[in-house]
Structure 1
Amino acid sequence: MRYRRFGKTEMLMSVFSFGAMRFLESEENAIATIKAAIDYGINHLETAKGYGKSEEYIGAAFKAGLHKLRDRLLITTKITPTWDAQTMRDLIQRSLQRLNISYIDNFDIHGINTWEHIEMVQKPDGCMQAVREAIDQGIIRHVGFSTHGPLAVILAAIETDLFESINLHYYYFNQHNEPAVQLADQKDMGVFIISPSDKGGMLYTPPEKLKQLCAPYTPIEFNDRFLLADPRVHTLSLGAANPDQFTSHALAWDNDQPMDAQELEILQRMNQNYLSLGSDRCAQCFECLPCPEVINIPEVLRLRNMAVAFGMEEFGKYRYKMFENAGHWFPGTKANKCTECGDCLPRCPEKLDIPKLLFDTHDRLYTKEGKRLWG
């Protein structure tokens, strides 16, 4: 396992972090999975108040003997922003109790996704007052934020200079947040990548076309290498649900060097494959927004890009069903809400027939309604 300095926090963090949001089976399984992560060299466990019983299961692991390794482990937990300080004080104390620890190495404000959330963290007597007090008391050592928000909100959150690290979506199939990665690097912030294998493309179950394009690597290995070849990225979430789900990342956790000739050839092959979309390819410039019907046009057409060019229809269906069902965590209405008003058309530099592509995406990807794993 390789380790990287997590920005200005100065914490030396494994290039894979154990993302503990998928503990769905039992306390026994959770403890076994945590132990497996540590055995593979992972020294960072990441959870959140909102991840079901995750904090409790980590607390049970500490009670069962993990406390002996406390000085070797880095613990992150996350709590959504609150308007007042007292609510956040209470929530921090409850997380500490559930985790069965006396301090949190890295505390994240969970889900700065909207302009209202920016206002909440900047409020003088709001949640960040409680966080600052906890830092003074030694029960929080470093503070960052996680985000599923639009790029403008992410950049604004970074520019507040309230945070030492950022937890965000960025991977081969979604590079729109690259300016946020760059700004975070300029400010020497730790950069943690959310869910690179699942929401990065459901890469555990890739279609045959994607497997062929990434060969001789697996799609997971290619995406891991795409990210860890970038020195601005410090750690990737590995959301194992059981002890058997770690080793598919082994190639990358021992190799964080720049891409070699073979990997660059795969990258070029992947980039070239987008040409198969022809004149229907969305270049993800986001100039089409805002949409009067609140359709997240770039995200809808990104899913179409992946389905048509890479055969990733199952991933597209998995994500498409989240529209209208996940609030600010995955905003936007479904593509069939398009009224063909034409508002977006003159703004598209690619001159795409956006309404036609929206309806085509809905026909391809609509299956049923869905929801986030944790509400």
Structure 2
Amino acid sequence: MNVPTRRFGRTEVPMPVLTCGGMRYQQGWEDLDPSKIDPKGQQNLEACIHRALELGINHIETARGYGPSEMQLGMVLPTIDRDRLLVQTKIGVKESAAEFLEVFETSMNNLKLDHVDFLSIHGINLPEHIDTCRKKGGCLDAIRQLQKEGRVRFCGFSTHAGPEVVVPACETGEFDYVNLHWYFIYDQLHWPMVEAAARQDMGVFVISPNDKGGMLYQPPEKLAALCEPLTPMQWNDLWTLARPEAHTLSIGVARPSDWDEHVEAVCNHLGDPVVGEIEQRIRRALENALGAEWMAFWPKGLPHYPKAPGEINVREILRLWTFDQGLGLREFAKMRYNLLGNASHWFPGRQATEVDAQDWSCLSASPFADRIPGILKQAHELFFVEKEAKRLSES
């Protein structure tokens, strides 16, 4: 049983709709000496890769920042026919082409490959990152050199940002594809990013639909019941892939059996009417909990965090509150809320502290201007945890 493929934008590559994401099966988050790799852990990683290939999932995605992931992949990928593989790695924004190329050589030495199919600039999360990458002697000049040498086929970028950054980055025309966050609980805020990529005929790679899509591997009972006969992870996969603009979903497997739930969904239920029926149940549940007007218009007129009082990330906090109140995503909301202000540009803006001391005249374009300060205070009370949160890669 092979998973379906989709044309990955202007690359013309037939891309499997599921990608083997490389940030769950590696051994930790720090670079390691090869002698320190646990043989059983390496055996598990290799079993994940071979199971993926059996299923037609030949896109293997990793990053320089994923600890020993590249190195551990370098122990198995060279043993596989290179023509069977689509390999992607990612390198963070660097100030110069020389610095970028130095890191690229580290990645290639780890992967033990002569080229990668996809190379992403990792973490274009701020407007200034675009300028840094595009300047003369910057990251993009390095990638163009590598493309001429045949060591990189296609150039893309990954991002945790919203439309203010991602839409202009797509519109530069410099990139063949983008790794971004978009799924049901990000639809109202991030769909313009997908549209911008589609206008440029870019491949669209959806990051972490299981975890960042709501920690759906441990869903609340309410959401699980709404998604029957599918699981929440399956429904989220199918809902996302119902839009032809989305091409592949990153599945961070930790063991070979983790593929089963997703593969069953995309091989047997793509286009199934049940996906739309479940969506309507979920939307009704949200409207019953919060009102149809809130669900239609809550994002309207909200300031981007740099222009919000105290740089409070109003959009993100209201998003977390909405899906906690409507679907019971409390643990997810806590996890994401406590990253605010603790993960640099990967999760920017601040928590909703000292709300009463702020001037909220910036909300004048919102139909809920009078309610939002109270909701922000409630969200802080519900979600704040008395310890510093860290991104997974910083844990």
Deviation at 1:210, TM superposition (A): 0.4
Task: Provide the C-alpha distance between the structure 2 equivalents of 1:180 and 1:258, rounded to a whole number of angstroms.
Answer: 23
Is 2:370 the counterpart of 1:370? no
Aligned length: 371
CA RMSD of aligned residues (A): 1.6
Q: Is the 8 A contact 2:125 2:159 kept in 1?
A: yes
Change (3 A) 1:167 1:255: farther
| Map of 1:203 onto structure 2 | 216
SS of the residue 2:76 aligns to: helix
Of 338, 341, 349, the residue aligned with 1:321 is: 338
Contact 1:83 1:123 in 2 (8 A): no
- Find the partner of 2:317 among 286, 300, 311: 300
Query: Equivalent residue for 1:53?
Result: 68
Distance 2:60 2:364 in 1: 47
Tell me the residue number matched to 2:227. Answer: 214
What does residue 226 of structure 1 align with?
A: 239
- Aligned residue for 1:236? 249
Q: Tell me what 1:283 maps to.
A: 298
> Among residues 335, 343, 357, which one is paired with 2:375 in the alignment?
357
1:131 to 2:143 alignment = yes
State the Cα deviation string for residues 234-258 of structure 1 (Å, max 9, x = none): 1000001122211111233215744
How many Å apart are 1:91 and its aligned residue? 1.2
Range with bigger deviation, 213-222 or 47-56: 213-222
* Counterpart position of 1:3: 5
Counterpart amino acid of residue 45 in structure 2? A
Give the direction of change, closer, same or farther, for the CA distance of 1:228–1:87 in structure 2 (3 Å limit): same
Instruction: Judge conservation of contact 1:76–1:106 (CA < 8 Å) in 2.
Output: yes
SS at match of 1:158: helix
1:145 lines up with 2:161 in the alignment: no
Q: Which consecutive unaligned segments of at least 5 residues does structure 2 have?
A: 28-40
Matched letter for residue 170 of structure 1: W
**What are the residue-to-residue correspondences of 1:11-90 with 2, within 5 Å?**
11-25=13-27, 26-63=41-78, 65-66=79-80, 69-90=81-102
Per-residue Cα deviation, 1:18-68 (whole angstroms, up to 9, x for no partner): 0101124432322222222222221100000001111001101125x23xx
CA contact (8 A) 1:345 1:353 kept: no
* Percentage identity across paired residues of the two chains: 41
Work out which of the residue numbers 229, 249, 252 in structure 1 matches 2:262: 249
**1:292 and 1:310, CA in 2 relative to 1: closer, same or farther beyond 3 A?**
same
Is the partner of 1:141 in helix, strand or coil? strand
Please tell me whether the aligned partners of residues 88 and 116 of structure 2 are also in contact (alpha carbons under 8 angstroms): yes
| Of 276-285 and 240-249, the range deviating more from structure 2 | 276-285
Question: Counterpart of 1:192 in 2: which secondary structure?
Answer: strand
Instruction: Write the distance in 2 (CA, Å) between the matches of 1:11 and 1:141.
Output: 11
Q: TM-score, normalising length from structure 2? A: 0.90
Unaligned runs of 5+ in 1: none
Q: Determine whether 1:335 maps to 2:352.
A: yes
Q: In the alignment, does 2:365 pair up with 1:347? A: yes
Q: 1:255 to 1:121 in 2, by over 3 A?
A: farther
- Counterpart residue type for residue 135 of structure 2: K
1:365, distance to aligned residue in structure 2 (A): 1.0
Deviation at 1:286?
A: 5.1
2:42 corresponds to which letter in structure 1? E
SS, match of residue 223 in structure 2? helix
- Give distance in 2, aligned partners of 1:288 and 1:179: 16
Secondary structure at the aligned position of 2:249 is classed as: strand
Mapped to 1, the partners of 2:5 and 2:104 lie a distance apart of: 28
Kept in 1, the 8 Å contact 2:301–2:365? The answer is no
| In 2: Cα distance, 1:257 partner to 1:245 partner | 19
